[in-house]
Chain A
């Protein structure tokens, strides 16, 4: 039977020749991931059950990125729980402060996730790794505990929706705009339980940072995973990072899709998602003039070097508007160093922005930039739910880095063309 790339990866990890949609399988995972919010619950389960060892100490990643550097005593205790577990169980890939970055930027950067892998992570944005041609999905802490013990997880084989993008992207438009546009068309449950497969000539030439941003937000359409067929761009990215074998999968020519959506990418403008759902995306022109108090450039969606470069390019020679606070958060220590070496920090500091250590921080209303009642932010993050970045009566507008930086300069939502 013809299968999609997602179905092929699932079948291979379940030791089966083929799988069909709806089938529930038990499959082996290549990597299980937890962070400082989700891992403590999983760790408590292992401790309570008296588990003495994990399935493979090299195939577990623990990243204290959400509330670290510890924002308060309670979060310090959660991080300590992870640290002690990593020490007691001799976990290879535990990332202490200084090595720690935002998990979904860090693991691909370190070559810990590779094409053809099956990854579960106790974080909903684990779907990011589909950009590398891996099957990866978010799970809860109990699933993480199960995977840490047994190296396995259960999966219901999904059907897929194919998205075909054609045409050349407009200036400044990137992966974030494509995915916001897509979610705007199909809605926040438009891909519920299903796989989103991004294809077409636009995707074929899309850089890895943009691909990662697209697959990252597949969960915002309710999808189980987002995925892109690995190609030369993928191989170029994993070259020098991979320290084990990997497999390049692609969908069979006759693979079945629930739906096929074809978009003319050359007609897609810079996007802004209005509060309080990512599906409320509109062209930036329709948001122009909305006044703002804060701008955040960072997160597992848009905290990569390419994102900081784009923000820097827009900001160069400008100042952040009076009354606006701009926070730049390089996603990993390597990105931080590269941005500094390239002179981007000078641009940010000259503009009046602050630069944070890597953390998820404000994206989930944790720390490093919480909004007060009635305040409004433009953020390159992934969710604009009620209260997501702070007070339940604050607002988040989602965009890519170019719109975020331009908005910081103007003091209200703006396009780089407005500068």
Chain B
């Protein structure tokens, strides 16, 4: 794998079971334009999120992050809001799949999820799977990606991977 850069930003901590209706409410699903979706990212979980978040910031969830609908608009909205990655103690399975397919980096770590508060400065090393809480001076290890996911990412996502197979 080519050398991946670090993700560095401020943490925004949300609770357990953040559903895709909270990430991007269905009333905005009449478009799939990333910038429009970004304007409503996390709106029903925190109406002010848009005005507070900065490029590179990191969303931190509890268990079952991204539960609910299969809408790919959820990872699209998070990515377009310039959030660099998402950390959670667990992810709902369709969101997990979609995030990989969309190229939104996600990291599963119950310890990191428990050890991060809103405002903490974080640094994530995706190649090593290490999450550093710079504010509190602690380090966490994320679940490594399964080898298949690494292949998928190296191919440039699901579609290039499948096109290679088809041809």
Looking at A36-44, A111-119, A265-273, A351-359, the stretch in contact with chain B turns out to be A36-44
From A41, A124, A386, residue with most partner B Cβ within 10 Å: A124
Contact A192:B162 (CB < 8 A) given known A24-B148, A123-B70: no
Residues of chain A within 8 A (CB-CB) of B30 are: 67, 71-72, 74-75, 78
Contact A364:B64 (CB < 8 A) given known A140-B94, A142-B159, A192-B90: no
* Contact assessment for A145 and B17 in the assembled complex, using a CB-CB cutoff below 8 Å: no
Contact A387:B32 (CB < 8 A) given known A49-B159, A142-B159, A364-B69: no
From B27, B70, B90, B102, residue with most partner A Cβ within 10 Å: B70
* Contact assessment for A388 and B21 in the assembled complex, using a CB-CB cutoff below 8 Å: yes
Contact A38:B17 (CB < 8 A) given known A49-B159, A142-B102: no
Residue of B nearest to A124 (CB): B70
* Contact assessment for A189 and B70 in the assembled complex, using a CB-CB cutoff below 8 Å: no
Tell me, in angstroms, the Cα distance from A156 to B72 when the chains sit together: 19
> Is B71's CB within 8 Å of the partner chain A?
yes
Residue of B nearest to A40 (CB): B32
Pick from B64, B146, B162: contact of A149, CB under 8 Å? B162
Residues facing A in B68-92 (CB within 8 A) are: 68-73, 75, 90, 92
> Is B6's CB within 8 Å of the partner chain A?
no
Residues facing A in B9-29 (CB within 8 A) are: 17, 19, 21-22, 25-27, 29
Tell me, in angstroms, the Cα distance from A152 to B159 when the chains sit together: 11
Residues of chain A within 8 A (CB-CB) of B71 are: 37-38, 140
> Is B39's CB within 8 Å of the partner chain A?
no
> Is B142's CB within 8 Å of the partner chain A?
no
Pick from B92, B98, B102: contact of A189, CB under 8 Å? B92
Pick from B26, B101, B163: contact of A49, CB under 8 Å? B163
* Contact assessment for B26 and A145 in the assembled complex, using a CB-CB cutoff below 8 Å: no
> Is B31's CB within 8 Å of the partner chain A?
yes
* Contact assessment for B97 and A143 in the assembled complex, using a CB-CB cutoff below 8 Å: yes
Pick from A149, A154, A192, A364: contact of B26, CB under 8 Å? A364
Residues of chain B within 8 A (CB-CB) of A392 are: 25, 44, 47
> Is A146's CB within 8 Å of the partner chain B?
yes
Give the interface residue-count category, chain A. Answer: 35 or more
* Contact assessment for B94 and A188 in the assembled complex, using a CB-CB cutoff below 8 Å: no
Residue of A nearest to B65 (CB): A189
Contact flags (1/0) for B88-132 with A, using CB distance below 8 Å? 001011100110011000000000000000000000000000000
Tell me, in angstroms, the Cα distance from A26 to B67 when the chains sit together: 24
Residues of chain A within 8 A (CB-CB) of B45 are: 386
Pick from A138, A188, A222: contact of B70, CB under 8 Å? A138
Pick from B68, B102, B163: contact of A124, CB under 8 Å? B68
* Contact assessment for B97 and A386 in the assembled complex, using a CB-CB cutoff below 8 Å: no
Pick from A121, A139, A152, A277: contact of B162, CB under 8 Å? A152
> Is A224's CB within 8 Å of the partner chain B?
yes
* Contact assessment for A74 and B64 in the assembled complex, using a CB-CB cutoff below 8 Å: no
* Contact assessment for B72 and A149 in the assembled complex, using a CB-CB cutoff below 8 Å: no
Give the number of residues in B that approach A within 8 Å (Cβ atoms): 41
> Is A193's CB within 8 Å of the partner chain B?
yes
Residues of chain A within 8 A (CB-CB) of B75 are: 140
Shortest Cβ distance from B164 into chain A, in angstroms?
Answer: 10
Residues of chain A within 8 A (CB-CB) of B162 are: 146, 149-150, 152
* Contact assessment for A140 and B26 in the assembled complex, using a CB-CB cutoff below 8 Å: no
> Is A95's CB within 8 Å of the partner chain B?
no
* Contact assessment for A146 and B92 in the assembled complex, using a CB-CB cutoff below 8 Å: no
> Is A287's CB within 8 Å of the partner chain B?
no
* Contact assessment for A150 and B166 in the assembled complex, using a CB-CB cutoff below 8 Å: yes
* Contact assessment for B92 and A366 in the assembled complex, using a CB-CB cutoff below 8 Å: no
Contact A386:B44 (CB < 8 A) given known A45-B159, A141-B72, A150-B165: yes
Tell me, in angstroms, the Cα distance from A75 to B64 when the chains sit together: 30
* Contact assessment for A41 and B21 in the assembled complex, using a CB-CB cutoff below 8 Å: no
Tell me, in angstroms, the Cα distance from A224 to B47 when the chains sit together: 31
Shortest Cβ distance from A308 into chain B, in angstroms?
Answer: 24
Shortest Cβ distance from B71 into chain A, in angstroms?
Answer: 7
Tell me, in angstroms, the Cα distance from A222 to B67 when the chains sit together: 7
Contact A366:B26 (CB < 8 A) given known A138-B70, A388-B21: yes
* Contact assessment for A139 and B70 in the assembled complex, using a CB-CB cutoff below 8 Å: yes
Residue of A nearest to B161 (CB): A146
Shortest Cβ distance from B8 into chain A, in angstroms?
Answer: 27
Tell me, in angstroms, the Cα distance from A108 to B70 when the chains sit together: 20
Shortest Cβ distance from B136 into chain A, in angstroms?
Answer: 27
Shortest Cβ distance from B48 into chain A, in angstroms?
Answer: 13
> Is B158's CB within 8 Å of the partner chain A?
yes
If A122-B70, A189-B17 are given as contacts, then 15 extra A-B residue pairs at C-beta distance below 8 Å, sorted by A number, are A41-B72, A49-B163, A67-B30, A124-B94, A140-B98, A141-B72, A142-B158, A146-B162, A150-B165, A189-B67, A192-B64, A222-B64, A366-B26, A387-B25, A392-B25
Residues of A in contact with B (beta carbons under 8 Å apart): 24, 26, 37-38, 40-41, 44-45, 49, 66-67, 71-72, 74-75, 78, 121-124, 126, 138-143, 145-146, 149-150, 152, 154, 156, 188-189, 192-193, 219, 222, 224, 277, 364-366, 383, 385-388, 392
A-B contact pairs, 24 of them (CB 8 A): A26-B165, A37-B26, A37-B71, A38-B70, A67-B30, A75-B30, A122-B72, A123-B70, A124-B70, A126-B70, A140-B70, A140-B75, A145-B159, A146-B158, A146-B159, A146-B162, A152-B165, A189-B63, A222-B93, A224-B93, A364-B26, A383-B68, A385-B19, A386-B19
